[in-house]
Amino acid sequence: MTLPQTLLDKLWSAHEVLLREDDMSLLWVDRHWVHEGSHHAFGKIAARDLPVKEPSLTFAVVDHYAPTMRNKPASGSIGRMIDTLQANAKAHDLKIFDLNDTDQGIVHVISPEQGITLPGLLINCGDSHTSTHGAFGALSFGVGATEVAHILATQTVWQAKPKSMRITINGELPPSVTAKDMALHWIAELGAGGARGYAIEYAGSAVRALSMEGRMTLCNLSIEGGARLGMIAPDEVTFDYLEGRPYSPTGSEWENAMRYWATLQSDYSAHFDKKVTIDAKDIAPTVTWGTSPDQALPITGVIPDPSRLEAKSSSAAEDALDYMGLSSGKPIAGTPIDRVFIGSCTNGRIEDLRSAASVLRGRKSKVPGMVSPGSTPIKVQAEMEGLDRIFIEAGLDWVASGCSMCVGMNGDLAKAGERCASSTNRNFPGRQGRGARTHLMAPAMVAAAAVTGTITDVRKLINEVTQ
């Protein structure tokens, strides 16, 4: 008789090739994504004259350095990195989602969109937000350059099994509260290292009520709380999203796959190393005030006084307030902003664009900003729905897909001292440009900030429309 297993246990054992005496597992990798920054790994296997072990299981994408102004081709070092990825993909016969590919986009957007991400798979990429794919009940985590090279050469990866954590969010989310707010709420509650060493499984009625877009946002941000990965057990919402996708199974294979996917649930009495329970009604639209995702508070909140925090948090808070140019004791709402950005692997999907457009419709932005869809198919869909016209008429730039201002590797940057309301995942110093100040929030909150020129409670603008 076997012991009850968590979803993590089931996925781990299904992929474990062997277990070393030091408790490191050699895991089989089902899907591997490489991008422009993976050139170091290709260099490592080239130095040993090794081929890619399983070319059909490795996919390449231009996203981190992708120019969002397609009429301005990449040049210099950026151009060379893109050229190098193209050359490596051709040399090893890899499928590449190139700049001009009709399915190009951010890796963590296009992989689910194409049905390359499926429940039960182990998925790796040289990017920390690979945890996004866990929304489908996949075992998915980011890896470093050395590990990328190992996967290219062997289709396996060495990994220590993380501890298990279940975050249960029950109840109904209040109006205008999103998956982004759910994530920032628990990260603020537990701290940036609160989930360090854990694999998170999200559960509860509020999680089940999320769309796949929302679930991807939640799992994407698991890393910002220190977790190794995040995941959600697959259900009918998952199956409906995946059915008919280009790489999804078809016919009898689809029926067989769904029967297997339905087993990917934690057993009723499975043991978790840590459990956290949150009431959905306690979550509000949330925004960061500092330089770490855990330095966040409800939009109705007041910037904290560092002296009232624990010693370690106090020092970090003082440094954050100094960098952000903010003063404790003041409401976060009303803080002036200089720029907005909507996009990224966290919040660049069609659901995100629709929510932002619903706030911007018929209004003008008081600050400059950019909207970058998560993929070319999303861009096309948004244009068919007329969302692009709403953004453009509001005064924002409607650009092509790519990581863009989330990380600023392609030249899309905020200026030193500028305060940016952003739908991205990290607010570290310099993340969006040297000296730039980033406030993380949901897309509709970014839109509200654009309309008012300040960090604003989006519920007030929504109420204006409905009254």
Q: What is the pLDDT of residue 312?
A: 75
**In angstroms, rounded to a whole number, what is the distance separating the alpha carbons of residues 206 and 210?**
7
Per-residue pLDDT at 463: 78
* CATH class of residue range 7-274: alpha beta
- Residue 360 corresponds to which amino acid? L
Q: How do residues 142-170 score in pLDDT, each as one tens digit?
A: 999 999 999 999 999 999 999 999 999 99
| E strand or H helix at 249 | none
Separation between Cα atoms, residue 324 and residue 427, nearest integer Å: 10
Beta-sheet pairing, 419-422 with 397-398: unpaired
Q: Is residue 198 within 8 Å of 173, Cβ to Cβ?
A: no
Taking the domains of the chain in order of start, what are their residue ranges? 7-274, 286-466
Residue 167 CB burial class (10 angstroms; 0-12, 13-18, ≥19): buried
Distances (CA, A) of 153 to 61, 121, 150, 336: 19, 19, 5, 50
Structure tokens belonging to residue 79: 């151009």
Dig out the tokens for 442 from the structure. Answer: 């949901």
DSSP per-residue letters across 193-242: TTTTTEEEEEESHHHHTS-HHHHHHHHHGGGGGT-SEEE----HHHHHHH
Q: Which amino acid is at 305?
A: D
Helical H segments across 330-431, by residue range:
344-347, 350-360, 376-384, 387-394
Give CA separation, 411 vs 33, 40, 45, 181, 325, in Å. Answer: 23, 22, 30, 28, 24
User: CA 23, CA 21: separation in Å to the nearest integer?
Assistant: 5
CATH fold match for the domains 7-274 and 286-466: yes
Distance between alpha carbon 376 and the CA centroid of its chain, in Å? 17
Tally of CA atoms within 13 A in the half-sphere of 425 that contains its CB: 28
Listed as ranges, residues in the chain with pLDDT below 70 are: 1, 465-467
Fold of 286-466: Aconitase; domain 3 (3.30.499)
